[in-house]
């Protein structure tokens, strides 16, 4: 039993280190609510050659059939070195 618990703890530590290591160059850039706004922002970023990742916090996903407005939260992450380029790309929304 102790071997199993030790193995689980070791796997958890390895997984945590992997997540930290793989995400250390990514920065939260923009948070939007609703899939329409999400697709608008992501398409602008990708159109300017900026790679992005998305995270949806637990508990924010709602069935679209039940609600008329989508309030799902989307956290959009970009690479740290692309931040200035991404800010310039999103200036298109304001104009």
Look up the CATH architecture of domain 26-94: 2-Layer Sandwich (3.30)
- What digits encode the pLDDT tens for the residues 47-74? 999 999 998 887 655 555 555 667 889 9
- The pLDDT of residue 52 is 94
The H or E element that residue 76 is part of is: strand 73-79
Can you list the residues of the chain whose pLDDT is less than 70?
Answer: 59-69, 95
- The pLDDT of residue 21 is 84
Can you give the residue ranges of every domain in the chain? 26-94
Return all residues near 77 (Cβ < 8 A) that are at least 6 apart: 23, 26, 27, 28, 29, 52, 53, 54, 55
């Amino acid at each position: 039993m102790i071997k199993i618990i030790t193995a689980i703890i070791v796997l958890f530590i390895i997984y945590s280190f992997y997540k930290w290591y793989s995400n250390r160059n990514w920065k939260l850039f923009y948070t939007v609510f609703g899939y329409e706004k999400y697709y608008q922002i992501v398409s602008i970023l990708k159109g300017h050659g900026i790679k992005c990742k998305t995270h949806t916090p637990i508990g924010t996903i709602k069935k679209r059939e039940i609600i008329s407005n989508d309030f799902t939260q989307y956290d959009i992450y970009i690479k740290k070195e692309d931040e200035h380029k991404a800010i310039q790309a999103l200036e298109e929304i304001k104009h």
